[in-house]
């Protein structure tokens, strides 16, 4: 969604596809109007930073332009965006001080702990022997997940050492959707509490909060952490103030000075504790953007472009969002069924009174799977309405349609 924002401001956009991108190369939301056709060029990451930078320079020069910013457009671009912006002398985050891979969740937890902030108990390794001692001493359940991932990809709540070992080997032997092949696996304590998202944009080490969200995560289809939606949390609330202060400490610990961050924090009985920092904009195909715009008048995407390309516009951004201008939430669309899709019936959601935006992830002729993570959602919608009862009624209707499978028709 950064691409249409930049295009609207008169910038040409080059897509740099990293070696880690995998199937995410095809994840272009419908709302990114005009793309990929409008890309000035599409460049594949080369074997060295110098050759990649040269390829970008050549693509810009052919259009009589120059590269003025390298902005991370997705989770699989974090490492390259940091290294490339540093190599090219452009605005970005340093790779010094052990931050060559700030995607690494163990690197994040170690840095936050060293900064004097609450961090999760964890261990990281590439063989079971590396992590076995942790599973022998930590109370179950525990979390087992890839050290690089996104969208709950590969995350599992394990209730025994045997289950943890089995999932560990599964992760080590499989390619994750948003991680490197052969990357290590993390075992973590299970944090009990409510999970929040704290979105920021930063420039020269000044962090500005764009929104605080609270997750609606529940078990579904055998998975423990399916995201059913997110709600916005008022910045003036005590919980938001505590989360914002803690998150900014985490960003400083990770030496993040520029760009967007999407930080997941668990509010436990003893206070906030980092789940992970994602050094890019809030994802979910941009489904949240109409709600953010309705609530605050701007989005993290527009603020991220401000941070990179307009000091004056960044300075005009509030430190935290003001009192909300509307009410609403994001609802994910969940599948409890699998099979070959004959037709879809998303108009049933689109016609609900409070639905102002709908992103469809499913088409006729495609195979639908039961939803277990963000990658297997069948869609997302934004609901905004002045009457809370209308909002609640529409959400109840959506959940019923999901359960009975009436959002699509399966082939016999």
- Do 211 and 296 meet the contact criterion of CB atoms below 8 Å apart? yes
Convert the pLDDT of each residue in 301-346 to its tens digit: 999 999 999 999 999 999 999 999 888 999 999 999 999 999 999 9
Dihedral sign of CA atoms 303, 309, 315, 319 in order: positive
Q: Is the pLDDT assigned to residue 178 strictly greater than 50?
A: no
Q: Is the pLDDT assigned to residue 30 strictly greater than 90?
A: no
Question: How wide is the angle at C-alpha 329 spanned by C-alphas 385 and 260, nearest 5°?
Answer: 130
| Mean pLDDT confidence for 50-57 | 98
Q: Is the pLDDT assigned to residue 179 strictly greater than 80?
A: no
At 195 the pLDDT is 93
Q: Is the pLDDT assigned to residue 180 strictly greater than 90?
A: no
Host H or E run for residue 239: helix 238-253
Say which residue the tokens 């919980």 belong to.
239
Q: Is the pLDDT assigned to residue 79 strictly greater than 90?
A: yes
pLDDT band at 148 (very low <50, low <70, confident <90, very high): confident
| Mean pLDDT confidence for 134-146 | 93
Rounded alpha-carbon distances, angstroms, from residue 319 to 217, 315, 316, 401: 28, 9, 9, 40
At 339 the pLDDT is 96
Calculate what percentage of the chain has a pLDDT beyond 90: 83
Alpha-carbon distance of 120 to 188, in angstroms, equals 7
| Mean pLDDT confidence for 160-183 | 77
Alpha-carbon distance of 356 to 310, in angstroms, equals 30
Omega before residue 36 within 30° of 0, cis: yes
**Residue of 274, 255, 269 lying closest to 207 (CA atoms):** 255
At 412 the pLDDT is 79
Q: Is 269 exposed, middle or buried (0-12, 13-18, 19+ CB in 10 A)?
A: exposed
């Amino acid at each position: 969604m950064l691409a249409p924002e930049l295009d609207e401001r008169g910038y040409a956009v080059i897509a740099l596809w990293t070696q880690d991108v995998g199937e995410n190369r095809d994840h272009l939301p419908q709302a990114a109007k005009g793309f990929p056709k409008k890309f000035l060029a599409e460049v594949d990451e080369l074997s060295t930073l110098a050759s990649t930078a040269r390829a970008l320079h050549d693509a810009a020069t052919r259009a009589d332009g120059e590269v003025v910013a390298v902005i991370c457009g997705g989770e699989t671009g974090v490492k390259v965006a940091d290294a490339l912006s540093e190599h090219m002398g452009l605005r970005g985050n340093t790779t010094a001080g052990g931050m060559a891979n700030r995607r690494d969740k163990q690197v994040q937890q170690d840095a936050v702990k060293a900064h004097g902030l609450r961090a999760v108990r964890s261990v990281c390794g590439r063989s079971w022997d590396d992590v076995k001692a942790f599973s022998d001493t930590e109370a179950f359940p525990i979390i087992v997940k890839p050290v690089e991932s996104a969208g709950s990809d590969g995350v599992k709540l394990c209730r025994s050492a045997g289950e943890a070992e089995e999932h560990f080997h599964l992760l080590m032997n499989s390619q994750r959707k948003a991680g490197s092949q052969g990357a290590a696996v993390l075992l973590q304590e299970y944090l009990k509490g409510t999970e929040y998202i704290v979105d920021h944009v930063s420039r020269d080490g000044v962090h500005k909060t764009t929104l605080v969200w609270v997750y609606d995560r529940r078990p579904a289809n055998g998975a423990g952490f399916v995201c059913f939606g997110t709600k916005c949390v008022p910045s003036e609330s005590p919980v938001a103030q505590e989360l914002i202060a803690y998150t900014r400490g985490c960003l400083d610990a990770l030496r993040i000075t520029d760009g967007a961050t999407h930080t997941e924090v668990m509010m436990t009985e003893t206070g906030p504790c980092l789940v992970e920092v994602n050094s890019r904009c809030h994802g979910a195909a941009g489904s949240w953007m109409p709600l953010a715009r309705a609530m605050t008048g701007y989005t993290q995407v527009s603020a991220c472009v401000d941070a990179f390309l307009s000091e004056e516009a960044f300075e005009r951004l509030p430190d935290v969002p003001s009192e909300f201008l509307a009410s609403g939430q994001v609802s994910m669309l969940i599948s409890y069924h699998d099979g070959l899709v004959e037709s879809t019936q998303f108009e049933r959601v689109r016609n609900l009174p409070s639905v102002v935006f709908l992103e469809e992830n499913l088409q006729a002729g495609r195979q639908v799977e039961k939803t277990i993570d963000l990658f297997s959602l069948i869609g997302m919608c934004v609901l905004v309405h002045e009457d809370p009862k209308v909002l609640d009624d529409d959400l109840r209707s959506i959940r019923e349609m999901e359960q009975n499978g009436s959002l699509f028709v399966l082939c016999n």
